[in-house]
Structure 1
């Protein structure tokens, strides 16, 4: 079996994020400029070609150079290429090569949603405690060897030593000797984007810790899907649904809203008896909407559905934080889980 990389999930995350940003930025640019075409004389250089080129460049960077830096760069370049590629999926699933094919937005969202699920699955399988001693040793060696040209910071030295803890005295002693042979390097200055990311994490942690924020979230999670189901039913009675072109997407949105509503109402009913179980159901309801309902929402509302996804992700952060807090508190407090 191939050796698993400890940072595999981080590389996949960089790939996904760069792809998502590329699609959103490209759609915004094309909308603002009136969808210009590169070429002339009957030729059109579609950006799917640039996507394929960048995918190849990203793969080449990861294959040619050693270390986490080139792998991250390769993942970002490849993610940009994938974003340029998947943005034109409408041309390849329609006989008339229709870039504006309505379900294309849902297909793009679904592709990235599957990549996020894959990233989380990889993250769960490649944690430090999930790797075998041999895999942890291999990852520690990879980390150390990638620092030979420019040296290793103290933080990365400590990370390498932690990886080989418990693998045996011989391996641990050999790692110490190897680290002694690698030059030391001062940590690089903190980049502006790192400071921005730290501020965002602190803000998210602060928001998740506000108990007063939990109850508005609970009310929204119950009211919004129930309201969606009622609105679709009313549109069906009044004949408004007859104007919809994407009936399949409307049906999918309705089914997802109904499932989400049932889960949310059930969770609200459980709140007074089993708060941990209730917030587990709220979390499940949000995941159903994110991984199923939003695919059809993008088909119906196109890229205007981005706001709904962002809101779902924010709500998921609050609900997940509260669910974790309740699970930690339940054994010590004696309250039912």
Structure 2
């Protein structure tokens, strides 16, 4: 069995994020510039070609160069290439090569949603506790060797020692001796994206501690799916649904909203008697909406659905944090966590 990399999930996450940013930035740019085309004389250089080129470059970087930096760079460049590629999926699932094919946005969303699920699955299988002793040793050696010739920071040395916990004493001693041979390097200054990520984590931690924000999210989860169902019914009564081209997607949005509403109402009913179970239902309602409802929402509303996904992801973070807090309190024996 191939040796698993402890940083695999981080590289996949970089791939996914760079792909998502590429699609959103590209769509915004094309909308702002009225969809210009490269080429002339009957030629059109579609950006799917540039996507394929960047995918090849992203694959080539870690094949040619050694080290963590090369793998990260390959993941980011490959993610940009994948974003350019998947953005033109509408042209390749329609006989008329229709870039504006309505379900294309949903297909793009599904592709990235599956990649996110893959990332989470990999994260669960490549944590330090999931790797064998031999795999942890191999990852520790990879970290050490990546420090040649630039050197190893104190943080990287500490990471190597964590990976070696539980290894044979002779192996630990050999790796320590190898680390001693490596030059010591000062940590580089924080990049702007690292500062932004740190700010986002602090903001998220602050948000999950605000009780009013948690309850505002609860109200939204109960009311929003009911509003969607009522809006569809009103459009049916007024005849506006007759102008809708994507009937299947509208039915999908309505059905998912009904399921989400039932789960949210069940959760609201449980709030007084079993808050831990209530927030488990709220989390389930959000997952149903993100994994199913938003697929149909993207078909109906195209990329305008991005704002709804962003809100649902933020709520999922808040609800998940509250569910974990309640579970920890229940494990401590506190029957009425506040």
Shift of 1:237: 2.8
SS in 1 for 2:332: helix
Partner of 2:52: 52
Partner of 1:174: 174
Structure 2: segments with no counterpart, 5+ residues: none
Q: Is the 8 A contact 1:61 1:71 kept in 2?
A: yes
Q: Is the 8 A contact 1:106 1:298 kept in 2?
A: yes
1:332 aligns with 2:332: yes
Shift of 1:21: 0.4
Partner of 1:234: 234
Provide the rounded CA distance (Å) in 1 between the counterparts of 2:336 and 2:204. Answer: 28
Provide the rounded CA distance (Å) in 1 between the counterparts of 2:101 and 2:116. Answer: 24
Mean CA deviation greater in 29-38 or 171-180 = 171-180
SS in 2 for 1:333: coil
1:135 aligns with 2:135: yes
Partner of 2:294: 294
Shift of 1:336: 7.5
Q: What TM-score do the two structures reach when normalised by structure 2?
A: 0.98
Q: Is the 8 A contact 1:273 1:336 kept in 2?
A: no
Q: Deviations over 1:79-107 (max 9, x none)?
A: 00000000000000000000000000110
Q: Is the 8 A contact 1:19 1:81 kept in 2?
A: yes
Q: Deviations over 1:199-239 (max 9, x none)?
A: 11111110111111111110110010111112212222332
Partner of 2:217: 217
Provide the rounded CA distance (Å) in 2 between the counterparts of 1:132 and 1:259. Answer: 42
Superposed, 1:90-169 pairs within 5 Å as 90-169=90-169
Provide the rounded CA distance (Å) in 2 between the counterparts of 1:204 and 1:336. Answer: 25
Provide the rounded CA distance (Å) in 2 between the counterparts of 1:334 and 1:303. Answer: 44
Q: What TM-score do the two structures reach when normalised by structure 1?
A: 0.98
Mean CA deviation greater in 86-95 or 289-298 = 289-298
Partner of 2:26: 26
Provide the rounded CA distance (Å) in 2 between the counterparts of 1:334 and 1:10. Answer: 36
Provide the rounded CA distance (Å) in 1 between the counterparts of 2:321 and 2:224. Answer: 21
Provide the rounded CA distance (Å) in 1 between the counterparts of 2:235 and 2:170. Answer: 72
Provide the rounded CA distance (Å) in 1 between the counterparts of 2:195 and 2:48. Answer: 34
Superposed, 1:224-303 pairs within 5 Å as 224-303=224-303
Count of residues paired in the alignment:
337
1:198 aligns with 2:184: no
Give the superposed CA RMSD.
Answer: 1.1
Mean CA deviation greater in 300-309 or 233-242 = 233-242
Structure 1: segments with no counterpart, 5+ residues: none
Provide the rounded CA distance (Å) in 2 between the counterparts of 1:112 and 1:191. Answer: 26
